[in-house]
Amino acid sequence: MDAEITYLELKNTALQEFPDIVVSASILRGPLNVAKSLRLFLIDNSFLEVWISGKKYSYHWQRTDEKIYRHDNAPHKKHKHIKTFPKHFHDGSEGNVKESNLSDNPTIAIRYFLKFIRTNMS
């Protein structure tokens, strides 16, 4: 599926289904105005950035207290011991890595992660 269409669908899902935590959303663009990622701005001044390229993905929540939460499937060799490799979850920091069962379906994945964010906002 085309990145532009995917990001538009995820943007609409976030704005329509999570208006209590999502303030606004922007598709970030690279050279030649190509859709690069989706950034969701949240009520606590944090943001969620979603990057999808083929089968690779990253759902990265950056909080104002510098904590990060990210589901991604980059095949880092240092995470080979994780049962769900290459899928993994950075839980609060780059170094605290756990299993990730995030769906490969972007719409299901963003719903799951926005529910996680809603529950864990401070």
Instruction: Note the maximum CA span of the chain.
Output: 39
Per-residue pLDDT of the chain (122 residues; tens, 9 = 90+): 588 899 999 999 999 999 999 999 999 999 898 999 999 999 999 999 999 999 999 999 999 999 999 999 999 889 899 999 999 999 999 999 999 999 999 999 999 999 999 999 97
CA distance linking residue 36 with residue 39, whole number of Å: 10
SS3 content of the chain, % helix, strand, coil (to 5): 30, 35, 35
Q: Is the pTM of this model over 0.75?
A: yes
Angle in degrees, CA 7, 70, 115, rounded to 5: 70
